[in-house]
Structure 1
Amino acid sequence: MSFQPIVAGSGLVAWNFLQRTMDTQTKAFESSPAMQRDLDYFEENIKNVETAEDLTKDRRLMRVALGAYGLDEDINHTFLMKKVLEEGSQASDALANKMADKRYLAFAKDFGFGDLGGPWHKQDSFVENIKEQYTTRQFEIAVGEQDESLRLALNAVRELEEISVNGGSDNTKWFSVLGSPPLRNVMEQTFNLPSSFGALDLDKQLEVFRGRMEKLTGDSEISQFVGEDAQQKLVDRYLIMSQINTSQGLSGGQIALTLLQY
């Protein structure tokens, strides 16, 4: 049986406890027998893969490969994932470049089956990177089995930090945020946006997000999330709004007082 993360309380209380115990909990999770079996199998067998079809035919390899990108739910979509891998990331008409969810593009690019010079999966650095990503995301999933809002908060901090240091304009970084379903979920809940918001013109959505982000953190740029201060402001607000939306443990007076602080 895998190590189950310990979540104490809910909302900000649970988040602060998780942050204090993160190193200990993640090490215990990674060392659990179930995780070690997955990681060892991947490391030992990925070197035998020659084609995208070889990879997609091995369910145990695919569980780790997809899990490293948060694409666990695609484990049964063998034909789709084979096509994503085979077409790669370099051609403008490649399937991964047409998909709004940019996790597929990262998946295709990192494996490189359809790209010039690829594939890359036999490099030692590649294997270690996949193992690290898989462990991180599976820990988030395990946390989410107890509190989904904490899973999304962990994912948001990780993804925002990654996007903030990537090249490109801040508009490009914002579009990366909007192209990630988990991140978009966090942003929409943080700013209490209705479900119909996604139907607006993309430029209008970006304008609204920028305006509300500036009110929250004093900065409308995604590049600010390289720093912990901006990360914490966003997470605090998200967890507060998540608790309000689910009415978990906050009275009307507590809600009003908490909101006045942000």
Structure 2
Amino acid sequence: MNFQPLVPVGGLPGWVLLNKTMDRQTELFNQSPAIVRDTDYFEQNIGNVRSAEDLVSDRRLLQVALGAFGLGDDLNSRALIKRVLEDGTSEPGALANRLADERYTKLSDAFGFAEPGLPRTALAGFGREIADRYRSLEFEVAVGEQDESLRLAMNARRELSEILQTDVSEDAKWFTIMGIPPLRKVFETALGLPSSFAQLDIDRQLEEFKELASDKLGIDTLSVLNDDEVKEDFIRQFLLRDQIASFQVQSSNAIALTLLQSAPSNFGTV
């Protein structure tokens, strides 16, 4: 049985407590028997994998590979994952490039099965790299089982750090954010955007994201999120808005329940 993170409260208080105890809780989680077994097996055997078929044929290896990119729910979608890995990302028509979720692109690039020569699985240290990612994301999953909003906050902090390091244009970074569902949700919540927003034309979405980030959060360029304080303020804004939305839902439910309870017990009788 894996160590279960201690998250006694949610929202901003939970975020503060989680960060204060993060190092110790992460250490205990990584020592969980199941985590140790899975990561040890991956590090010992991934070096023998030379093709996408090799990877998807070994469920234990595939579990860690997918979990390392937040795609654990696709464990039974072997045909999809095989195609994503075999196509690579260099061609516009590659499956990973046609899927809306940027995590498939990250997975395909990480393993490099479509590239000339040996895949990245043959590189020294590759097993450790993926195993470390797996441990990190599995801890996020475990936190999410206690409080999904805190999981989203952790995911946002990690994903933003990775995206901001990439040498691409500002718009490309925004499109990456928009293509990672958990991170996109954090931005939509922090900016107060409705769920119907995703139905807009993609270029219009980009304009709205940039404009609202500047007006509401003071984020004129994503590079400002390289500052830890600015990034933390952004995450706190998400958690605050998420809490407010949750309170509103709870209040609406409470009102509805009160109305039902106060309705005449003989309603509908003659």
- TM-score in terms of structure 2 length: 0.89
Q: Distance in 2 between matches of 1:214 and 1:229?
A: 17
CA RMSD of aligned residues (A): 1.7
Q: Find the counterpart in structure 1 of residue 262 from structure 2.
A: none
Change in 2 beyond 3 A, CA 1:112/1:233? same
Match of 1:17 in 2: 17
Q: Which residue of 2 aligns with 1:203?
A: 203
Offset at residue 24 of structure 1 (A): 0.9
Deviation of 1:229 after TM superposition, in Å, equals 1.6
53-62 vs 94-103, which moves further: 94-103
Aligned to 1:260: none
Mapped contact 2:50–2:121 kept (Cα < 8 A): no
In the aligned structure 2, how far is the partner of 1:38 from the partner of 1:204?
A: 43
1:170 equivalent to 2:140? Answer no
Distance 2:92 2:53 in 1: 22
Pair 1:158–1:235, CA change in 2 (3 A): same
CA deviations on 1:144-196 (whole Å, 9 max, x unpaired) are: 00000000000001101111121111111101100111111111111121111
1:203 to 1:213, Cα distance in 2 relative to 1, 3 A: same
Q: Is residue 50–residue 118 contact of structure 2 (8 Å, CA) maintained in 1?
A: no
Answer with 88-97 or 229-238: which moved more: 88-97
AA at the equivalent of 2:180 = S
Deviation at 1:50, TM superposition (A): 2.4
Give the paired residue count. 251
Question: Residue type matched to 2:148 in 1?
Answer: E
- 2:102–2:180 CA contact under 8 A, matched in 1: yes
Question: Percent of pairs identical after alignment?
Answer: 47
Supply the distance in 2 between the matched residues of 1:46 and 1:168 (Cα, whole angstroms). 30
Gaps in structure 1 of 5+ consecutive residues: 252-262
Q: Distance in 2 between matches of 1:26 and 1:162?
A: 20
Distance 1:9 1:130 in 2: 31
Structure 2: distance between partners of 1:118 and 1:240 = 47
Contact 1:243 1:249 in 2 (8 A): no
Partner residue in 2 for 1:59: 59
Query: How much has 1:232 moved relative to structure 2?
Result: 1.2
Q: Specify every segment of 5 or more residues in structure 2 that has no aligned partner in the other structure, as ranges.
A: 252-270
Alpha-carbon distance in structure 1 between the residues aligned to 2:209 and 2:50: 44
Shift of 1:114: 1.1
1:88 counterpart letter in structure 2: G
Aligned residue number for residue 80 of structure 1: 80
Distance (whole Å) between structure 2 residues aligned to residue 221 and residue 20 of structure 1? 29
Residues 17-62 of structure 1, C-alpha deviations (whole Å, 9 max, x = no match): 0111111111111111111001011011212222211110111110
User: Counterparts of 1:226 and 1:43 in 2: how far apart (Å)?
Assistant: 32
Structure 1 length-normalised TM: 0.91
1:249 Cα deviation after fit: 11
Moved over 4 A (4+): 248-251
Equivalent positions of 1:133-144 (< 5 A) are 133-144=133-144
CA separation of 1:217 and 1:194: change in aligned 2, threshold 3 A: closer
